[in-house]
């Protein structure tokens, strides 16, 4: 049975109230419930976590190598700044997908840069919370190839 680690970075704990015109009105707990249910319907387990601390996210990626088949990462603002997260993804060699609720390519210029994208299978952005569901399905399709 496959297991997927879904990691969420800084400020995502504020979803539902933080700039709902950009990020939507769903809370992170609501997104987690959707992901867990969607994955369970496909016979996959999910570990879902959020941290505002880069080191915690790094430790989770490092630990994933022993327990998870894939990673879905919404690194939030760390997407645009963290070479460390990129290096961690390269290091663990686990199929990974980058997710963003908003279309980062249609936003401010600094948000259009992603260090994470170099180390993942692909990037899903601009579909709100449905991007997580798309990422689960994309990982499952990757596992089947």
Binding site, by residue number, is 74, 80, 87, 101-102, 111
Name the binding residues for substrate.
74, 80, 87, 101-102, 111
Distances (CA, A) of 63 to 25, 44, 89, 108: 31, 18, 11, 33
DSSP state of 69: S
Q: Check if the beta carbon of residue 89 is closer than 8 Å to that of residue 68.
A: no
The one catalytic residue in 78, 100, 115, 132 is 100
Q: Which residues contact 72 (CB under 8 A, 6 or more apart)?
A: 4, 5, 6, 7, 96, 97, 99, 132, 135, 136, 139
100 is catalytic: yes
Question: CB–CB of 44/140 below 8 Å?
Answer: yes
Q: Which of 23, 78, 115, 132 is catalytic?
A: 23
Residue 132 known to be catalytic = no
Could you give the residue numbers annotated as active site?
23, 100
């Amino acid at each position: 049975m496959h297991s997927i680690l879904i990691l969420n970075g800084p400020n995502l704990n504020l979803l539902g109230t933080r700039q709902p015109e950009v990020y939507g009105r769903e809370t992170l707990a609501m997104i987690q419930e959707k992901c867990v249910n969607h994955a369970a319907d496909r016979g996959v387990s999910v570990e879902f976590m959020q941290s505002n601390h880069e080191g915690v996210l790094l430790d989770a990626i490092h630990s994933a190598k022993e327990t998870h088949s894939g990673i879905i990462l919404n690194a939030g603002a760390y997407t645009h700044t963290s070479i460390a997260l990129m290096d961690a993804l390269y290091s663990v060699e686990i199929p990974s997908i980058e997710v963003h609720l908003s279309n980062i390519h249609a936003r401010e210029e600094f948000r259009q840069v992603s260090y994470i994208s170099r180390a993942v299978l692909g990037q899903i952005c601009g579909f709100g919370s449905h991007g997580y569901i798309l990422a689960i399905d994309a990982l499952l399709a990757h596992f089947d190839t």
